[in-house]
Amino acid sequence: MLEGVEVVFIVIAIGAGRPGLLAPACLGALAALAVVVLLGVVVHRPLAQIPENTLKFVVGVLLSAFGAFWFGEGFDVAWPGDDLSVLGLIAGFALIALLTTRLSVRPVLARSNA
């Protein structure tokens, strides 16, 4: 639900930036909210089966990859493969996250019973 509300505010804020776009932006925001709510109802049970830390890890990778992509778009970066390059960013961020996670885990020392 929180994500849906965020989408509503973003769409309205963007639409309010130009004259005559507020009404279509509001309709778009309502449509986005309806889609997010509907998806939430549909995928709630399957997503509840995924461990919370795994879900947070995947969301973090996706947010990082899309954030880097959109940051580059803002600076007119010529992405190889255009929009498909976001898949490479997702793979890269996932690989780096998996490697650094593995490296940051301390090995558990065997305890002696003596």
pLDDT tens, position by position, 20-72:
777 887 787 788 778 888 988 998 888 889 898 998 999 899 999 999 998 99
Cα 12 → chain centroid: 20
pLDDT at 30: 82
φ, ψ of residue 111 in degrees (nearest 5)? -90, 135
* pLDDT of residue 10 exceeding 80: no
* pLDDT of residue 112 exceeding 60: no
Q: Give ∠ CA 76-86-9 in degrees, rounded to 5.
A: 75
Rounded CA separation 107/92 (Å): 25
Which token pair is 38? 């509907």
Q: How confident is the model at residue 88 (pLDDT cuts 50, 70, 90)?
A: very high
Q: How far is CA 42 from CA 1, 46, 56, in A?
A: 13, 9, 20
User: Three-class SS of residue 105?
Assistant: coil
pLDDT at 33: 78
Exposure pattern of 1-21 as b/e (b: 16+ CB <10 Å)? eeebeebbeebbeebeeeeee
pLDDT at 40: 85
Q: What pTM was estimated for this model as a whole?
A: 0.64
pLDDT at 24: 80
pLDDT mean over 106-114: 61
pLDDT mean over 64-92: 91
Instruction: Please say whether the dihedral angle defined by the alpha carbons of residues 55, 61, 89 and 65, taken in this order, is positive or negative.
Output: positive
